[in-house]
Amino acid sequence: MTKKKTYLPYSVIIALMAAALGLCIVGSVVLGRYPIGLRELCGIIGSKFMDVEPFWKPVQESLLLNHRLPRILLACLVGCCLSAAGAAYQGVFQNPMAAPDILGASNGAAFGAALAILLGFGGGMVTAFAFAASLLTVGAVIYVGGKARGKRVLGLVLSGIMIGSLVSSGTSFIKLVADPEDQLPAITYWLMGSLNGASPKDVLFALFPMALGLVPLHLLRWRINILTLGDEEAQTMGVNARRLRTVVILAATLATAASVSVSGVIGWVGLVIPHLTRRMVGNNYKYLMPASMLFGAIFLLMVDNLSRNLLATEIPLGILTSLIGAPFFIYLITRDGERH
């Protein structure tokens, strides 16, 4: 006899997650090799809205506003977007192994960033190349998948695998011809994923496409439940499954492309976090989507704190998320009582 699992009320879980995220943000500001206390934090933020006599060092204000806060915001946004995209793809493709890079968004971004570095660009141009290449890659996948015979979902997945492999070959070729003293290390470091050097410009660049992706996913979350039933069932309920699937895929792709373009390739977040969130709120996307967004933000922010504080040299995020995510996912899929 299977024991029925019980959950805390959804509103309580969301409130706890929101409170945890707030505490993590405050803790992340304080953590760092150059200390910024809570008093200094409140003073610097308060000085932007009222007259406060500075009692902090100018370097603390510059560090907080130009480096630490943008990095914290990006960690939250990227974690939120990757988790939301992963949950959306898992519902759209009816596949628990679906992740944000299933349609080649990460591979495309990697190619674009590598190409920009090879051409001698830096900073914002690398981000722009990565974002554009990511969107073009997914666009190609959708076009080829639409021409494929048979089931549309299967065609999209297979197209994503093939075009993603093709783009990865292009990235490998760029690494082969890149300058081994300068360009190759920059490409390799970008591919491992990091938020080091995050600036207010990066936040502004990513914020709009991230919002364009996250808002539709949140508003359409209850309709994703219908997609998990199959196209025929959706049709009987008066839902155009093909159109809805396209909108959800485009929204998830925008969120993924914007995230990868500013952070590099960060794996496992969009695969593990939705599964873990399901254990807390169940399979209903009305609750799963916002809970995944909050939990993803908390997770990546905590991983980024480890990245910049664990060792004297910063550890790339992609390495840490793999070290944490892969064993944890093995635990999830082998644990007794896995929910289907």
| Alpha carbons 4 and 1: distance in angstroms, whole number | 9
* Domain residue limits, the chain: 78-331
Nearest to 276 by CA among 321, 332, 326: 332
Query: pLDDT band for position 4 (50/70/90)?
Result: low
- pLDDT tens digits, 195-221: 998 999 999 999 999 999 999 999 999
| Alpha carbons 338 and 332: distance in angstroms, whole number | 7
Query: pLDDT band for position 6 (50/70/90)?
Result: low
- Contact assessment for residue 101 and residue 72, using Cβ atoms and an 8 Å cutoff: no
Q: How many CA atoms lie within 13 A of 15 on its CB side?
A: 5
Q: How is residue 56 annotated by DSSP? A: S
**Is pLDDT of 338 > 50?**
no
**Is pLDDT of 339 > 50?**
no
Kindly state the percentage of the chain with pLDDT values over 90: 64
- pLDDT tens digits, 53-95: 888 888 999 999 999 999 999 999 999 999 999 999 999 988 8
Q: 181 CB contacts (<8 Å, ≥6 apart)?
A: none
pLDDT of residue 55: 85
For the chain, give the mean pLDDT. Answer: 90
Tell me the fold of 78-331: ABC transporter involved in vitamin B12 uptake, BtuC (1.10.3470)
Nearest to 83 by CA among 282, 277, 308, 303: 277
CA torsion, ordered 244, 245, 247, 250, to nearest 10 deg: 180
For the ranges 147-151, 205-209, 299-303, the lowest mean pLDDT is seen at 147-151
Signed CA dihedral, 84, 253, 260, 140: sign only = positive
Signed CA dihedral, 145, 148, 153, 158: sign only = negative
Q: Which residue has the higher pLDDT, 49 or 132?
A: 132
Q: How is residue 315 annotated by DSSP? A: P
